[in-house]
Amino acid sequence: MTATPKTKTIPPAQGVGTPVIWIDGQWCDRGTAMVSVYDHGLLYGDGVFEGIRVYGGKIFRLEEHLDRLYDSAKAIWLSVPMEKKELASITREALRRSGIAEAYIRHLITRGVGDLGLDPRKCLKPSLIIIVDTIKLWPEQVYETGLNVITAGTPIPHRESLSPRVKSLNYLPHIMAKVEGINAGADEVLMLDSAGAVAEGSGQNVFAVKNGRISTPPPHAGILKGVTRGVVIELATSAGYPVDQTVLNRYDLYTADEAFFTGTASEIVGIRQLDGRVIGTGQSGPVTRDLRSRFQALVRS
């Protein structure tokens, strides 16, 4: 395993309230951060990533996200060039240097620099990147009104080609679905699997509420098992809402009392309309608002 510089050897902080990037032991900013054009993460999307939120200077569920990052890497035969404990330490240092209290942290592990062939053995050393910046998908008003969503024609990748549990750098099917939504003037898209069952958004898990009961597709249906998804299930269960992890189709969402997306970047956001059908009252519903309130209380506690 390749040795990596320890946090104590890193030069002084660059500033306050600005994005910070760490690349293989070097501290950079947006203007100086660079990767090789021969990095297989760029050439082939050969790598994995995680996105993590920071609330009030506290990293939310860091260990859980890093567990998934390391599992994703192992699943694609990619060695992480650092122990998990050291990566956590450098992540905290990157946040400190940024001075951003409400931050978004992106970890990336690429296969590293190789040649123009596919053979991963030509990449002698994986590359590890940490980005600390901010993210905002929609204005705050959207969390009150809910999203206008359409079903994309582009399905999620077949779960037998690459496990959806792997959070890989290749997001092209989800981007193509997002393009469909943009061209249709929608806020977001709903993606189906190859059999037509409800899967997820372009980067979120999806939930439906009917008669006080919450339903969401199960992991074996080919979805990413989101960290925020897990938190919402925990919150809903502790609040007394029955939660079913079951296969859903669009009818279940069309006729739901409420529907919402969850994700690290989006948190919890309601769906007001799907494919021209108004969901419930046409705005973020009471269960959605309650869970969002509980989520905010949790991350701020």
The pLDDT tens digits of the residues spanning 233-289 come to: 999 999 999 999 999 999 999 999 999 999 999 999 999 999 999 999 999 999 999
Domain extent for 165: 142-300
Domain count for the chain: 2
Q: For residue 293, give the CATH number of its domain.
A: 3.20.10.10
Cα 98 from Cα 250, distance rounded (Å) = 43
Global pTM exceeds 0.75: yes
User: Are 147 and 296 in the same domain?
Assistant: yes
User: Are 94 and 169 in the same domain?
Assistant: no
For position 162, what pLDDT does the model report? 86
For position 1, what pLDDT does the model report? 38
User: Are 128 and 146 in the same domain?
Assistant: no
Q: Which residues of the chain have pLDDT under 70?
A: 1-16
Give the catalytic positions in this structure.
167
Q: How far is CA 155 from CA 47, 80, 117, 174, in A?
A: 22, 31, 28, 8
Do the domain assignments include residue 2? no
Cα 106 from Cα 253, distance rounded (Å) = 31
User: Are 154 and 275 in the same domain?
Assistant: yes
The letter for the amino acid at 193 is: D
| Strand partners of residue 132 | 20, 105
User: Are 284 and 156 in the same domain?
Assistant: yes
Residue after which a domain boundary falls, among 133, 155, 177: 133
For position 222, what pLDDT does the model report? 87
Cα 195 from Cα 200, distance rounded (Å) = 14
For position 263, what pLDDT does the model report? 97
The pLDDT tens digits of the residues spanning 58-72 come to 999 999 999 999 999
Whether residue 282 contacts residue 255, with contact meaning beta carbons closer than 8 Å, is answered with no
Cα 210 from Cα 230, distance rounded (Å) = 20
User: Are 89 and 206 in the same domain?
Assistant: no
User: Are 149 and 203 in the same domain?
Assistant: yes
User: Are 101 and 201 in the same domain?
Assistant: no
User: Are 295 and 149 in the same domain?
Assistant: yes
Residue 25 is encoded by which pair of tokens?
């032991």
User: Are 126 and 239 in the same domain?
Assistant: no
Contacts of 50 by beta carbon, 8 Å cutoff, 6+ apart? 65, 66, 68, 69, 72, 106, 107, 167
| Strand partners of residue 59 | 54
Whether residue 199 contacts residue 182, with contact meaning beta carbons closer than 8 Å, is answered with no
Q: For residue 43, give the CATH number of its domain.
A: 3.30.470.10
For position 163, what pLDDT does the model report? 87
> Which ranges constitute the DSSP H helices of the chain?
40-44, 62-75, 84-98, 142-145, 172-183, 227-238, 250-254, 286-300
> What is the C-alpha radius of gyration for the chain, rounded to an integer number of angstroms?
20
Give the H/E segment covering residue 133.
strand 127-133
Cα 125 from Cα 82, distance rounded (Å) = 12
User: Are 60 and 174 in the same domain?
Assistant: no
User: Are 202 and 248 in the same domain?
Assistant: yes
For position 117, what pLDDT does the model report? 96
Do the domain assignments include residue 1? no
Q: What are phi and psi of 123, to 5 degrees?
A: -95, 110
